[in-house]
Amino acid sequence: MLDSAATSGPQRAALAGIRVIELANFVSGPFIGMQLADYGADVIKIEHPTRGDGIRTWGNRKNGIGLYHKVLNRNKKSVSADLGTPLGVEIARRLVARADVVIENFRPGTLEEWGLGYDVLSAVNPGLVLVRVSGFGQTGPYRERSGFGSLAEAMTGFAYTNGFADRPPLLPSFAMADSTTGLAGAFLTLAALEARRNNGGKGQIIDLPIYEPMLSLMGAQVVDYDQLGIVQQRQGSRLPLVSPRNTFRTRDGGWIALSGGAHAVFQRLCTALNVPELADDPRFSDNQKRLENADAIEQALQDAIGKFTLKEVAARLREHDAPGAPVYSVADMFEDPHLLARENITTVADEELQDGIQMPNVIGKFSETPGIVRHAAQRLGASNLEVLVKELGFDADELTAAGIKL
């Protein structure tokens, strides 16, 4: 509701004028706020005055500063309030009165215990969109269970299908379900704001369980089981729909990822690897036959690829317009000319990490109103004076007495 000062170039930012209050910790809720802030929404993050968001102390740190926190909470204002106290509730209520969106990811019922349920918040602001992220949603028999991304990854079929057939199921090595929820949550937030515009200004609740976005990403599993009784099993890097599709070792110990479902693409792949005869083999004459003979085709491709270095394979694939890509470590990403040209990793100045910090850039590129990383996450309570005293009119002495630093 308050106009955002965020701008990108000569025009106002895409989400300028949208104010978001973030009552969220760790990854899933803050990831939503990060996406909105990247495109200019005015995101005010409320954190406990002494503990702050738990992500501040998770993961790797430099000089005591949590590095992933610097990314997740970029472009936001940090404001301190203990929501378990009357003062904290009043701070939240005053902020909500001037906001468009509230994001929270506490266990269902927590906001109500604090006196900040939607009945209270919508009475203060009838146009409010409340985004409620939780493990299992606000309804259903699991609603009161604590929920984490790992549980969602387990219960939606991801872990069951991830890994090799003769080894245990594998969870991802990063917060996949939480991050996926963040992306979905940003879209749902904008959809709800558009619905508000189309329906007389009335807000609503978005009930977003962490497991639901993961379930929607699991490809054809549900429909295949419903119609054919197929239960997808673990098969490494293979894909049930396409063959070949796997990673292959090069002569110098590198790895290349290949995919060639369409036969014309497979032909180009074989030509690039100097084995054109494979494309004429009856066992590999179309995608379905290659799926039926996956072991044979992958062994033949491995034999061919093993004769080349990674650099040679990559060059040959480019020459013949065949799809393939080297398997990168994060160190390799920092050297890739395409990622550098598109500025996919950006350098951001930071008041706590004096040399600045590099992080993934905003997703997508707008031709007129691009998103931008204006600053990394603030120190705890850095915007207390600006927001609580100057904007909301709280007494500085009252805040200081409550342990809120200005």
Residues carrying an active site annotation:
178
Nearest to 41 by CA among 91, 11, 93, 6: 6
Q: How far apart are CA 266 and CA 268, in angstroms?
A: 5
Residue tagged 């990822």 (tokens): 257
To the nearest 10 degrees (0 to 180), the angle between helices 263-272 and 310-319 is 130
Nearest to 238 by CA among 175, 304, 297, 323: 297
On whether the CB atoms of residues 55 and 25 are closer than 8 A, the answer is yes
Q: DSSP 3-state assignment of 150?
A: helix
- Going by DSSP bridges, is the β-strand pair 101-104/129-134 parallel, antiparallel, or unpaired? parallel
Q: What angle do CA 333, 360, 38 make, to 5 degrees?
A: 160
Strands (E), 163-213: 204-209
Measuring CA to CA, how many Å separate 40 from each of 6, 17, 88, 303? 5, 8, 26, 51
Backbone angles phi, psi at 369, to 5 degrees: -130, 70
